[in-house]
Amino acid sequence: MTSTATPGLARFNTSSDRALLAELHEVCATPAWGRKLLARRPYATAEALLAAGDTATDELTDAELAEAMAGHPPIGRPKPGDPASSREQRGMAGASEELRAEMRELNLAYEDRFGHVFLIQATGATGERMRDALKERLTHTPERERAIARTELGKINRIRLTRLLAEDENRGGQGLMSTATTASVSTHILDTSTGRPAADVAVSLAARSGSGAAWMALGGSRTDADGRCKDLPALPAETAQVRLGFGTEAYFVSTDRSGDRTGDPAGDRAADRAEAQQDAPRARDGGPSFFPEVTITFTVTPGEHYHVPLLLSPFGYSVYRGS
């Protein structure tokens, strides 16, 4: 397929799966939807991409549809720091307190009846129109309402995907995660009980738009032989807080407690660490790792890079902002 794409669509066709999946999560909260779009690249036109988005929405399983709907806040209560939901629910911005109270009660009644958030393509809709739609849809059977919710999700996904491409055009194809407008993160781990880098440790990355907002898992990587993690996923636009998770249990726990070579690479690495520790306390001697995982949460500012090293031992750790 030969692309006649504008800069935004050209970037969509050529960006890495990992970076683009994070952006698509901002469009639709189930990763399954984003993966379906990635699998169908490249796209010759924006309309072809939008049609693929419609098809991906139609193909979501019930569980994936529930995951997608869970990413949307109730009408009248947009996510703090989330420009998409605030923009889409602008019709409620000037609503009276009476209307807001009525919407809260109707939302609760809807969630009690159907088990998921009331979903409507709210862009351009007044608060009264959304209230009336909510009242009418409360009379539906669960089967009919789920079908309508899927249709509304498709409309929202199409609008957000169109906006993603448009914002790319305005930024010359740099995308929503341009380094000029987002933060970036890296880390390394030093095992202070051996004085050596901690290699092959799993590192996960999550982000959110502010306190109280839902965390979005972005993926992860593993530390290299120097204990460094250089290829963490890019952060979405509007990221205000970041969470790094370190899988320390697998690093400390050995399949061979004597420290002898086990015959497999993972066991040999554990044996090397055991020999290097010498008289340092070893978590494996006392059973389960004392720190099965380490989680670090910190605030970021768009445009800045954050290198956050972990100084690790079996019974203690510390972190700091490096350079």
Residue 89 resides in a domain:
yes
Give the domain-ending residue among 101, 135, 170. Answer: 170
Q: In this structure, are 297 and 260 located in the same domain? A: yes
Task: Domain of residue 54: give its range.
Answer: 7-170
User: Phi and psi for 7 in degrees, rounded to 5?
Assistant: -55, -40
Q: Which residues contact 180 (CB under 8 A, 6 or more apart)?
A: 174, 303
CATH number for the domain including 74?
1.10.3330.10
Q: For residue 7, which of 170, 161, 235 has the smallest C-alpha distance?
A: 170
Residue 175 resides in a domain:
no
Q: In this structure, are 206 and 81 located in the same domain? A: no
Q: Are 17 and 26 in contact (CB under 8 A)?
A: no
Q: In this structure, are 270 and 149 located in the same domain? A: no
Give the domain-ending residue among 147, 170, 193. Answer: 170
User: Phi and psi for 30 in degrees, rounded to 5?
Assistant: -100, 125
pLDDT for 184 equals 82
Residue 2 resides in a domain:
no
CA–CA gap between residue 32 and residue 21 (Å, rounded): 10
pLDDT for 283 equals 42
Q: Over its length of 323 residues, how does the chain's per-residue pLDDT go in tens digits? A: 343 446 678 888 888 888 899 889 989 999 999 999 999 999 998 889 999 999 999 999 999 999 999 988 888 776 655 666 666 676 776 788 899 999 999 999 999 999 999 999 887 778 898 999 999 999 999 999 999 999 999 999 998 888 888 765 544 444 443 433 467 888 999 999 888 999 889 899 888 888 888 888 877 788 888 999 877 777 776 788 999 999 998 888 753 333 333 445 444 554 454 444 444 444 445 456 788 899 999 998 877 888 999 999 988 999 998 86
Q: Are 124 and 93 in contact (CB under 8 A)?
A: no
CATH number for the domain including 291?
2.60.40.180
Rounded to 5°, angle at Cα 318 from 315 and 320: 170
What is the number of structural domains in the chain?
Answer: 2
pLDDT for 171 equals 47
Query: Amino acid identity of 275?
Result: E
Q: In this structure, are 148 and 286 located in the same domain? A: no
The neighbouring-strand residues paired with 46 are none
Residue 94 resides in a domain:
yes
Residue 177 resides in a domain:
no
Q: In this structure, are 315 and 192 located in the same domain? A: yes
pLDDT for 310 equals 94
